[in-house]
Amino acid sequence: MSGYEFSRAWFDFSFNHPNKVKPVHTAIYFFVIERCNRLGWKENFGFPTDLAMEALGIKNYKTYIRALEDLVDWNFIQWIQKSKNQYTANVIALVKNTKAQPEALDKALHTTVSEQCSKQVRSIASIDKQINLLNNETLNKKPFLKIDKSEIPKDQLIYYQWALKFQQLFLKNLKNKSAPTKKVEITSFKNCLDPIRLMMEKDGVSEDQLLLAYELLNGSEEFWKGIILSTYKLREKIGQLIAQGKKPVKIKTMDLQVQHKIQSYD
């Protein structure tokens, strides 16, 4: 028998006799297997009492010897030479115990594994449902400004927060010019979020650069306020905004084209 077969036979027995087996029995038996293995699977081998007790943390000799005797009675080990006291070694042999019935433990383990797998599948399905929120057609079509933060998956929150920041800014800029705001208000979740996500994931735009763009669109300079009224347009013009930095172009009178764009935004 291999070490695996010895351990399997033990746990079959242990499962069928829970009223008999204690942790000390398992500890001693597995130390017996370990020592036999280290000695090259000798048929008979010395099993020093002091060594076993120290290795297993057993302080009481009577507890140790009773458990060892139980293992002999249950036909898991065999006395070859019994020690006279706790200071001498026993000589023992491992017994190929094939009497333990494995069916009960096999059935119990099978049931447990099946239940665990079922729970895991349900758990994974729940995780997938959350991750797939961004692929949900209903959510993607829902007006961005009507969506609650609690609906957003954690891994998408950073994009949502930036998209919300810019959408609110676009609304403010339009209202300041008494321009229609309906188009910003009804823009879908997907159309607001995707440009932000692509800027950060694909284009390499940092949060510092997004903040710089936000400050320009929120400043006194009117030029960009009439051009960038969506996150889609923001992605298209972000390079120019970054290049402009904190030195906006001085334009006293807004370009007539820009004014027209704002007024006809809807």
Q: Are 93 and 69 in contact (CB under 8 A)?
A: no
Query: Quick one: residue 25, left, alpha or beta (phi over 0 = left, psi -120 to 50 = alpha)?
Result: alpha
- What pTM was computed for the model? 0.44
pLDDT band per the 50, 70, 90 thresholds, residue 263: very low
160-209 tens-digit pLDDT:
999 999 999 999 999 998 899 999 999 999 999 999 999 998 888 999 99
Q: Are 112 and 123 in contact (CB under 8 A)?
A: no
Beta sheet of 77-81, edge-to-edge order: 45-48, 89-94, 77-81
Q: Is the pLDDT of residue 247 over 70?
A: no
The pLDDT, as a whole number, for residue 110 is: 53
* Contacts made by residues 252-259, CB under 8 angstroms, sequence distance 24+: 254/222, 254/223, 254/226, 255/223, 255/226, 258/222, 258/223, 258/226, 258/227, 259/226
The pLDDT, as a whole number, for residue 265 is: 44
Instruction: Provide φ and ψ at 143, rounded to 5°.
Output: -55, 130
Q: Are 187 and 144 in contact (CB under 8 A)?
A: yes
Assess if CATH 1.10.10 describes domain 3-94: yes
Average confidence (pLDDT) over 79-87: 82
* Residues 35, 40, 43, 48, CA torsion sign: negative
22-73 tens-digit pLDDT:
999 999 999 999 999 999 898 999 999 999 999 999 999 999 999 999 999 9
97-106 tens-digit pLDDT:
655 555 554 5
The pLDDT, as a whole number, for residue 101 is: 57
